[in-house]
Amino acid sequence: MSTPLSDVTSDSSAAAHAGLRLLAIHAHPDDESSKGAATMARYADEGCEVMVLTCTGGERGSILNPQMDRPGVAEHMHEIRIEEMAQAAEILGVQHRWLGYIDSGLPEGDPLPPLPEECFALADTAEATAKVVAVIREFRPHVIITYDENGGYPHPDHIKTHAVSMRAWDVSGDPDYRPDLGTPWTVQKLYYTHGFIRRRFELLARAEEERGNVTASSVLERWNDVPDIMPRVTTQIACAPWFARRDAALRAHATQIDPDGPFFAVATDIQENVWPTEEFELAASRVETTVPEDDLFAGVVPD
């Protein structure tokens, strides 16, 4: 399901990226498709090896698509989400690994209920870090994508993913850290993915209003209270030709993604024209680069 290389991807950029490796660390199946998916699909088409590492199985995900709210689905959520993740990975053209932890669920209520036993958020951070380091030393990524200190949004599994990713970044190249986990590998750059850009939603809503679609505008109002994260963005990746692949990967997560829901409130062609990029924040780098960037691999030294 490859997208032909477009004007966005020149022969020279594809050649420059061939052989490079990108690891995206996510909390649940579907996170990879809603956060930076078009960027991953672009790099995969340009010859990069791209891997998604999913920390939990998404077992406690609610059925958010009314079409999937039918007998037997909830009882087999774990198995279904494994199948959904495999389909999404194939669509995006990426490799996939499971870290093996149990979904913590999103606590709701006042006061918040305790987290369930044996969930990822309560897992030993040192143990989880070691598992991530083992993947890093095997895959040897030049660049890692993960979440910021708030998890992108304050889900306990997202926050845990941040904590584990940052520790793994620190120790994966240290020869004194767990030599039993493989040959040390030093990752060159680490990014936070930022999908909830308030200015983006504002511009998309305005474009839909101009087209006469007031419904989309009202759907996007849910993001009005999102903090303005744009000042933290250092890197914008042009990936509009891959938005269709992103959307197909989202739809593959049929239990979690309503095809009539907010992810699809704005027509793809409007998104391609109004906001043709995905946003990232360079959180740490061991190589020289200059921001703003238009390439996650800027400054990376191939091995």
Q: Which residue has the tokens 């340009």?
A: 46
Helices (H), the chain: 11-17, 31-34, 37-45, 77-92, 125-139, 156-171, 198-210, 214-220, 243-252, 268-274
Dig out the tokens for 203 from the structure: 């511009």
Q: Exposed/middle/buried for 176, CB within 10 Å: 0-12, 13-18, 19+?
A: exposed
Residue 158 annotated as part of some ligand binding site: yes
Residue 78 annotated as part of some ligand binding site: no
Residue 31 annotated as part of some ligand binding site: yes
118 torsion bin: left (phi>0), alpha (psi -120 to 50), beta (else): left
* Alpha-carbon 284 to chain mean position: 17
How far is it, in rounded angstroms, from Cα 22 to Cα 11? 20
CB 59 within 8 A of CB 14: no
Helix then strand then coil, % of the chain, to nearest 5 = 40, 15, 40
Residue 111, number of CB atoms within 10 A of its CB: 6
The residues with which 53 forms a beta bridge, in sequence order, are 25, 97
Q: Which residues sit in the known binding site?
A: 28, 31, 158
Q: Which residues sit in the known binding site for Zn(2+)?
A: 28, 31, 158
